[in-house]
Amino acid sequence: MMKVVADEARNIYENFEVEKDIYYFKVGRLGLASFHGRNYNIKKKITTEQLDSYIASGRFIKVSSNCYVNAEKVLSLTDGTINFDNSVSETKQIHVPRWRAQSIKNMLSSRKPMAM
């Protein structure tokens, strides 16, 4: 009986949903993307079509040349740091350039006025 329950549970490393599970992702060379979630990092190869669909969905905001943030998962943006969690853990934060922080803040405040 215990084996059946374990088989039915969703394995986040194999079956994660980018739009629902991921805080942010960074795209590297040769289409290798590093997806960062609540308590995991997963590297996976993605195609340019997949990347374009993630961006076109409107859920992800470009914060640097290779980093995209899930706008629905952002908790706050203060002092050039995007926070995804209430903890002070560095893994749940992304630093953004000051010159880009205001435009990101405007995009996020139009989606979630309480976060800003």
Q: Residue 23, class by beta-carbon neighbours within 10 Å (0-12 exposed, 13-18 middle, 19+ buried)?
A: buried
pLDDT tens by residue, 60-103:
989 988 999 998 888 888 888 888 877 666 667 888 888 888 88
pLDDT digits (tens, 9 = 90+) for 13-64: 667 788 888 999 999 988 899 999 888 889 999 999 998 998 888 889 899 8
pTM, whole model, 2 decimals? 0.79
pLDDT for the residue numbered 9: 63
The reported pLDDT for the residue numbered 11 is: 67
Count of residues making up the chain: 116
